[in-house]
Amino acid sequence: MPDFKHHVLASLLTVLFCTPFAVMAEESDFSGQVRGLVNSTTSNSASQLAIANQLAPGLTSGHAQLAVMETELRASAKGINAVATVQGQMNDGGRTQATAWLNELYGSMGDGAWQFSAGKKTIAWDVGYGFRPNDVVAQEKRRSLISNTIIGKPLASVEYFNTTTSVSAVWVNPGHAASTDVADEQALAARVYHHTGGVDLHGFARYGQKNGGSVGAAASWVATDEMEVHASLRYMQRNTGLRMNADSSLLQRNTPWQNSTQNNVVQAMLGANYTTESQHSFFLEAWWDGTALSGREWQDWNTRNQALQASVNYLPQMRQVIGYNLVWQNQALSASGNIRRKNVFARWSWQENNWQPSLDILWTPEDNGRIITAAVGWQGDRISINAGLRLYGGPARAILAQLPDSRMAYLSATWAF
């Protein structure tokens, strides 16, 4: 969870920076929501984390969130916009904690076709649902089981628009030192958008202080009243992510997963959406993510896991060291936004009065891994209720079948005011 003191200090500086822009709107607005959430996770006994704990009990001690109560507040006045969240948690060990953070706090002003903004803001780009290669500013994590308001980035932006075209330029994370995390590095980003007929065309560019340049393009075509087709492509000069070091020794003193730079990386996505008159929606996307570990790297990962587990038989005195090495293997799961490079995503949903059930699957054809999610939501005037269940599975060597959790479920109720 974001550090509260850090965000308070950043917010005060943002207010000072945004004050000159606070001349646009005369009206003020205040709204918010209160949400209660209970969730349950089932640990995966086949994961490297679970096996490490069997070798050295207590090696990793973590508790899953059991209940969450949060209040989200939104306010705007005279060109200043703010979103803040206060949250209380209780985990399955009975421990409670409270925290708060600012999702957004920015000032904006405009003069006809020109719009300016500065502060902490969410700017989300691209056309996909399950994967957005060109979401180069917000960099939102997609397909989360429980949706939350995105935490924005410090930025300054300018946009020009008319009835068919817009041009945007963004300076994100201004003043940040060079960072190996692409989400935190200082960067310049731009987007050009044009609407013609039934087609939306997008062009993107980004230059990061650490990761260099990237260019991208996307399109969305409303083919018929029922059918929409979209695609996205991005080329990156460099990308920094976790990779296994070159040390071939089985037992290592420190984590073997270190930041490494890839050159000439490509991401691509193709999708379609079909909606019937009875409000059944069918969604299909396939994508390639060159930032993810390769098939050979995952094969080596599986081989190393088996070797570490087998080493207990001839190195019983090293159980704790073996456990640590198995825990470090878990870091590979966060090396990229996608586990595998090839992904296929399918989703069905249905809107019937206040109800919306849905069912989706993410399939990784390289190893036949899968994530299946079933959910149902009810939306009233001010109250909404949502519930869902997510299952991870596949063959034993599929990466999705070796995640720390095998099942997640949740139930939430939200009151808007």
pLDDT score for 142: 87
Q: Are 232 and 217 spatial neighbours (Cβ–Cβ below 8 Å)?
A: yes
The band of 175, judged by pLDDT with boundaries at 50, 70 and 90, is confident
The pLDDT tens digits of the residues spanning 76-100 come to: 999 999 999 999 999 877 889 999 9
Task: Report the alpha-carbon distance of residue 127 to residue 57 in Å, rounded.
Answer: 46
User: Is the pLDDT confidence value at 17 over 50?
Assistant: no
User: Is the pLDDT confidence value at 181 over 90?
Assistant: no
**Neighbour count for residue 90 (Cβ, 10 Å):** 16
Q: Are 344 and 363 spatial neighbours (Cβ–Cβ below 8 Å)?
A: yes
pLDDT score for 246: 82
pLDDT score for 77: 94
CATH code of 142's domain: 2.40.160.100
Q: How far is CA 72 from CA 10, 77, 201, 414, in A?
A: 19, 17, 34, 11
Mean pLDDT of the chain: 90
User: Hey, what are 55's tokens?
Assistant: 């070798």
Task: Report the alpha-carbon distance of residue 265 to residue 291 in Å, rounded.
Answer: 7
- 9-30 CB burial, b ≥16 within 10 A, e <16: ebbeebbebbeebeebbeeeee
Give me the number of domains the chain comprises: 1
Report CA dihedral (45, 50, 54, 60) to the nearest 10 degrees: -150
User: Is the pLDDT confidence value at 19 over 70?
Assistant: no
User: Is the pLDDT confidence value at 377 over 70?
Assistant: yes
The band of 11, judged by pLDDT with boundaries at 50, 70 and 90, is very low
- Going by C-alpha positions, the residue among 253, 368, 313, 334 that lies closest to residue 49 is 334
Widest Cα–Cα separation across the chain: 75
Q: Which residue has the higher pLDDT, 147 or 254?
A: 254
Report the SS3 class of residue 207. Answer: strand
pLDDT score for 14: 44
The pLDDT tens digits of the residues spanning 322-347 come to: 999 999 999 999 999 999 999 999 99
Which residues form the domain of 390?
Answer: 4-416
User: Is the pLDDT confidence value at 62 over 80?
Assistant: no
pLDDT score for 179: 59
- Going by C-alpha positions, the residue among 119, 109, 147 that lies closest to residue 7 is 119
User: Is the pLDDT confidence value at 7 over 70?
Assistant: no
Task: Report the alpha-carbon distance of residue 202 to residue 103 in Å, rounded.
Answer: 26
- Going by C-alpha positions, the residue among 173, 177, 174 that lies closest to residue 153 is 173
pLDDT score for 13: 38
Task: Report the alpha-carbon distance of residue 205 to residue 235 in Å, rounded.
Answer: 10
Task: Report the alpha-carbon distance of residue 283 to residue 152 in Å, rounded.
Answer: 28
pLDDT score for 2: 42
The band of 309, judged by pLDDT with boundaries at 50, 70 and 90, is very high
